[in-house]
Chain A
């Protein structure tokens, strides 16, 4: 029994270890790909044998051609550029306003008392419930989409900034009192670094939400292009391959965002034990 379990633990590692590649590239880590690959093959086989209606579910090979088509004939790159620009602008606006408000209510009790209840009330509104209002106020163009993204990004940034500042250990504040720090120095040298992990968390969540809300806004306010609008139009004309191209592209962008956020976090918070 004991030798068996020992074998189970050691065999895969020994069996699949490839030279000196970093841990992430070890074959054992690829086992997670098994199910997607099997599904992909089944999907293609099912499409080839007409087990499924190609109008509802385009086959992988058709989607691949759709990719090619939307790159060469369609506006995939233009749409992508439009979406990414909106996301970036919305994230930037939402983050800046969110940081400013979060710092204000985190650092000042008065600001917290004045602004806090209103913010908490507005937070309860489902983000997409804003779309009808925003489309009335801003139209269906770029400004409406950027405003929506900014609004969605704003809340996680505010909340995390606030909580981060309020969560600064009292012990460290005491140290700064003993060392006679001025208020400005206390904020700069103690509160902001101590709150940085939480603030980054908020910005990171905001980043992920920004992409989701960009696609959502483009889909629901289909007027001026973008990946979401491309998908909506394709759905209208039953071009399922293009819909899937949109799904895949938005997934890849989301993946890229998560990855870059993780790298930035490791770099910025190197002093934290859990990331060292």
Chain B
């Protein structure tokens, strides 16, 4: 499975028509993601990072350029690509088990294999014991775990995450970031994360893509050559975080004072 999951974004542009005039959302995006790599996309609001992710998942079409997964142009959704949204988007009338099972509806497996996969993924995201809970009975963090399990249950080559922890409280967020890092290592699949949270991006990614707005384009790609699991209190971590922050337009770090920055990250 690890040889599959190569994503190539070649010279991609996307425009919306708004009342006769055209609005350029993405311009000349080039990005290659290797199998098993973790790439984050950060940038200010309106930089088109979510649009880019929606193009990759196939929910938006009609773009110029090529988005290729293992050499094949993406024209619509496919079970090879899973997605987790900011809101959990679980079906409220279905239990955790049923929600994850709906992800497997189109898989060519028999019932026993499906049941096994569902249970494996419930265990993977740490929801053992909550199989029969309905979404309204889950906390935000647990619901997002279920959404991750649904995104992964088809064993996609690539998992796309659109600000998945954006609506969670700070502690749950840090906990789930660690969990996602474990799941990524365990499953060995390609992940692309869109986020506002620079620390989250640096904590999880091999590379952080910084995008700029109007029109959306890639400003810089910052590699994160730190070992996993990463220490948020590490000065090197803080330096990289500041480096990414300084690239985001509109943000001016007071001055590079990593010694002060680590205090907040010492969890």
Contact = CB atoms under 8 A, between A and B. Distances in A.
Given A177-B77, A180-B78, A271-B93, A171 B102 contact: no
B77, B79, B94, B103: most-surrounded residue (chain A CB, <10 A): B77
A272 B92 contact: yes
A171 B136 CA distance: 17
B93 A193 contact: yes
A114 to B, nearest CB: 29
A196 interface: yes
Nearest to B106: A180
Given A180-B78, A272-B136, A273-B136, A174 B59 contact: yes
Contact of A181 (B58, B87, B105): B105
B29 interface: no
Interface in B66-97: 77-79, 81-83, 85, 87, 89, 91-94
Place the interface of chain A in its size category.
Answer: 10 to 19
A189 interface: yes
Which secondary structure dominates chain B's binding surface?
loop
A181 B76 CA distance: 13
Interface residues of B, number: 23
Contacts of B248: none
Nearest to B92: A271
B136 A271 contact: yes
B191 to A, nearest CB: 16
A42 interface: no
Contact of A178 (B77, B92, B93): B77
A189 B102 contact: yes
Contacts of A172: 89, 91
Contacts of B102: 179, 189
A185 B91 CA distance: 14
A178 B57 contact: yes
Give the secondary structure class of A's interface: helix
B134 interface: yes
Contact of A179 (B87, B106, B136, B137): B106
A276 interface: yes
Interface in A222-276: 271-273, 276
Contacts of A276: 136-137
A178 B105 contact: no
B77 A171 contact: no
Given A178-B77, A179-B79, A179-B106, 17 more contacts: A171-B87, A174-B59, A175-B89, A178-B58, A178-B82, A178-B83, A179-B102, A180-B79, A181-B105, A185-B105, A189-B91, A189-B102, A190-B91, A193-B94, A194-B91, A272-B136, A276-B137
29 contacts: A171-B85, A171-B87, A172-B89, A172-B91, A174-B89, A175-B91, A177-B59, A178-B57, A178-B77, A178-B81, A178-B82, A178-B83, A179-B77, A179-B102, A179-B103, A180-B77, A180-B78, A180-B79, A180-B106, A189-B102, A189-B105, A193-B93, A193-B94, A194-B93, A196-B93, A271-B92, A271-B136, A272-B92, A276-B136
